[in-house]
Amino acid sequence: MKVQLHQPSAALSSYIDNYMFVDIDWKQLSSISTIWRLIPFGQVSMLFLLGEPHGYSLSGATEEMHNTSQAFMVGQLTQPIWLKFSGHTRLIKIQFKPSGIQQLLPLNMEEFTNIPSVELEAIWGRSVNEAMEMLHEATDDENKIAILDNFFEKKLLPKRDNAAYIDYTVTQLEKFNGNLNIQNLETKLGISSRHLERLFRAKVGLTPKEISKIIRLNSAFSCLEKDPCMSLTSLSYEAGYYDQAHFSKYFKKIAGISPSKLMSRNSSELFVTHGKCFVKNMPLVNA
């Protein structure tokens, strides 16, 4: 099993968090579940599959799975998706910063929200197939990184004036762990919260309020990873909710499971939050 993170070029570092290289031969690995639940975490991903495709479902682990394409984008999510792996998984995941995707795609990102597999060829045409061929032929990771850098640098769009509004808002939301009144940003930004929401819908794919809830939910998973025995009351408080029922409602909506149910059982199902794998009472490696 191989999971490695690599940094993009300096020209891309403001827009892409990392390239993740994954190589898992499931026939030789029985210690990790082949069913993963991907929890929304406010970032768009793109994947190049160099091995076998995996299945996905928006309905649950036991529902019918659809196969991904070989090169695709995972849009912003407001609900979990279930992934099922088999055979030999070899893939490269490009993890964009929350506001990074707007610098590469001149599209309304809200159109791709909750769509787990958008073919990149439909967006960028033949250049995607050419990049895939080069990645297959690359002899080492260093060459693959150079291919990715070259591919995405060619897709960069001119810096847009409204990017600063999005970057500042996301930075503030992350700084305060999602516990921030969006309307209080109006004075700092000089634009209305309604205008900011329209920008986020088009350029990020989610509203600032949705991003805020997702940040708070992922913080709850981080708390559970540090302290698996944390009480539901404490977990609600740490996530910024003073009403336990309110917290449970949003947790279940975004994660697909209530916090009380998650905390009351040990499960082999693997949860993926903010780019990391999480199993209750057994934190795992990055993936």
Kindly give the confidence (pLDDT) of every residue in the chain, 287 residues in length, as a single tens digit, with 9 standing for 90 and above: 888 999 999 999 999 999 999 999 999 987 788 999 999 999 999 999 999 999 999 999 899 999 999 999 999 999 999 999 999 999 999 999 988 998 999 899 999 999 999 999 999 999 999 999 999 999 999 999 999 999 999 999 988 778 889 989 999 998 998 998 888 888 889 999 899 999 999 999 999 999 999 999 988 888 887 888 888 999 999 888 888 999 999 999 999 988 888 877 655 667 777 655 544 444 333 44
∠ CA(137), CA(143), CA(148), 5° rounding? 95
User: Is 57 within the bounds of a domain?
Assistant: yes
Same-domain status, 70 and 96? yes
283 found inside a domain: no
Q: What is the pLDDT of residue 17?
A: 94
> Same structural domain for residues 85 and 168?
no
Do 225 and 249 belong together in one domain?
Answer: yes
Per-position b or e across 105-128, b if 16+ CB within 10 A of its CB: beeebbebbebbbbebbebbeeeb
Decide if 96 contacts 44 (C-beta within 8 A): yes
Residue 111 to residue 54: CA distance in whole angstroms: 23
Domain-embedded: residue 279: no
CA 179 distance to own-chain centroid:
20
| Number of domains, the chain | 3
Find all residues with CB under 8 Å of 130, minimum gap 6, and list them.
none
Q: pLDDT value at position 281?
A: 43
55 with 136, same domain? yes
Instruction: Check whether residue 130 and residue 203 sit in a common domain.
Output: no
Structure confidence at residue 245 (pLDDT): 92
Closest CA to 49 of 30, 66, 70, 67: 70
- The residues with which 92 forms a beta bridge, in sequence order, are 21, 48
Residues 63 and 182 in one domain: no
Give the contacts of 232 (CB within 8 A, at least 6 positions apart). Answer: 244, 248, 259, 260, 263
Question: Would you state the pLDDT for residue 161?
Answer: 73
Residue 184 lies in a domain: yes
Look at residue 91 and tell me if it is in a domain: yes
Residue 177 lies in a domain: yes
Residue 1: the pLDDT is 85
Q: Give the domain extent around 237.
A: 211-264
Domain-embedded: residue 99: yes
**Which pLDDT does position 269 carry in this prediction?**
65
Q: First and final CA of the chain: distance in angstroms?
A: 11
- Pair 139, 225 in one domain: no
Same domain as 243, residue 185: no
Specify the CATH number for the domain of residue 76. 2.60.120.10
Is residue 275 a part of any domain in this protein?
no
Calculate the dihedral angle through the C-alpha atoms of 42, 253, 82, 126, rounding to the nearest 10 degrees.
-40
Co-location of 80 and 121 in the same domain = yes
pLDDT at residue 159, as a whole number: 82
